[in-house]
Structure 1
């Protein structure tokens, strides 16, 4: 069994980023990520690496559980 990290709520994430005064491009720059990493997270159910999730949380000053959820994959 493996685990995957997903965005918990896309609408809430969008609101959080925008209300913080950031664009998604500026969020990616501040977090040290490429915008090609951020946009697929917003547009699909893309799995997120622990490193990327931590960088986003640190930049937005939010706890992991506020933005992301861990799902177990039964393989």
Structure 2
């Protein structure tokens, strides 16, 4: 499984809190580059990173992430 960001929802939540990506990274305890890549959809977060983002925003996992299966090619099979 992989967590895919609901970018519009994340952007809305960050806007409501008045947060930049830098502030999200700091609040979640993740790197700024990681936060930027996740927000841009360039990177799917690991489970621990996804949990940190959800906890920092105070929302449910399903509010900002969607779980999708990982294809065989992504698994390296």
Q: TM-score normalised to the size of structure 2?
A: 0.84
Q: Does 1:28 align with 2:25?
A: yes
Q: Which has the higher contact order (CA 8 A, sep 6+)?
A: 1
Name whichever structure is richer in helix by fraction: 2
Instruction: List alignment gaps of at least 5 residues for structure 1.
Output: none
Question: RMSD of the TM alignment (CA)?
Answer: 1.2
Tell me the matched-pair count: 72
Q: TM-score normalised to the size of structure 1?
A: 0.86
Name whichever structure is richer in strand by fraction: 1
Instruction: List alignment gaps of at least 5 residues for structure 2.
Output: 73-77
